[in-house]
């Protein structure tokens, strides 16, 4: 059973990397341009994707592989006062878009993590980022989604099971963070 799950994960990862190579390179290029121009990368998602948004931001601010200067990144999933006040006063659908309104500018990127690509609050964040002039990049599953329609670049993981999609998203955020920190390694 374990070997079958591992094999299915390997197959999905290989298919994703084969099909999404050009989009991954575009995402890296957009990220490097953002950081070199003084922008920051904001990240959001729900549940497991929320923890991955935090993980990604931590890898940029702290480090992934080597000591280097801190790179500007914010996970929009971490401020419980903002999240709960916005949910209470407006709606849960606005918990990320409200933060984008306050924190983002045209030099920034929003990284959206959503296994379905249709989470209302993540879609609203992408729309708010567009209004602010931000680039929007997304990691989703393989099904067509709202995020895919509005993002500048989308990596569609070639899996349908949430856990498999999230496992590949984790690989991708590590790969992306590694590529983004390369110019800044000491």
Given this model, what pLDDT does residue 2 score?
72
Whole-model pTM: value is 0.96
Domains of the chain, first to last:
39-184 (3.40.50.10490)
Q: What is the pLDDT along the chain (186 residues), one digit of tens a residue?
A: 678 888 888 999 999 999 999 999 999 999 999 999 999 999 999 999 999 999 999 999 999 998 999 999 999 999 999 999 999 999 999 999 999 999 999 999 999 999 999 999 999 999 999 999 999 999 999 999 999 999 999 999 999 999 999 999 999 999 999 999 999 976
Given this model, what pLDDT does residue 38 score?
98
Given this model, what pLDDT does residue 5 score?
84
Given this model, what pLDDT does residue 117 score?
98
Given this model, what pLDDT does residue 6 score?
86
Given this model, what pLDDT does residue 66 score?
87
Adjacency order of strands within the sheet including 109-113:
73-75, 41-44, 109-113, 135-140, 153-156
Given this model, what pLDDT does residue 1 score?
65
């Amino acid at each position: 059973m374990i070997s079958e799950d591992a094999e299915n994960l390997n197959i999905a990862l290989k298919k994703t990397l084969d099909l999404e190579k050009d989009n991954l390179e575009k995402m890296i290029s957009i990220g490097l341009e953002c950081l070199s121009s003084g922008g920051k990368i904001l990240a959001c998602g729900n549940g497991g994707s929320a923890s991955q948004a935090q993980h990604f931001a931590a890898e940029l601010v702290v480090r992934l592989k080597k000591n280097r200067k801190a790179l500007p990144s914010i996970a929009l999933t971490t401020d419980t006062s903002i999240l709960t006040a916005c949910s209470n006063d407006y709606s849960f659908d606005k918990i990320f878009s409200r933060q984008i309104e306050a924190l983002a500018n045209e030099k920034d990127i929003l990284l959206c993590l959503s296994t379905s690509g249709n989470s209302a609050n993540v879609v609203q964040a992408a729309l708010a980022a567009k209004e602010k002039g931000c680039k929007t990049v997304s990691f989703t599953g393989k099904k067509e989604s709202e995020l895919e329609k509005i993002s500048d670049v989308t990596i569609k993981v070639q899996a349908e099971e949430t856990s498999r999609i999230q496992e590949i998203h984790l690989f991708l955020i590590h790969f992306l963070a590694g590529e983004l920190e390369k110019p800044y390694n000491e």
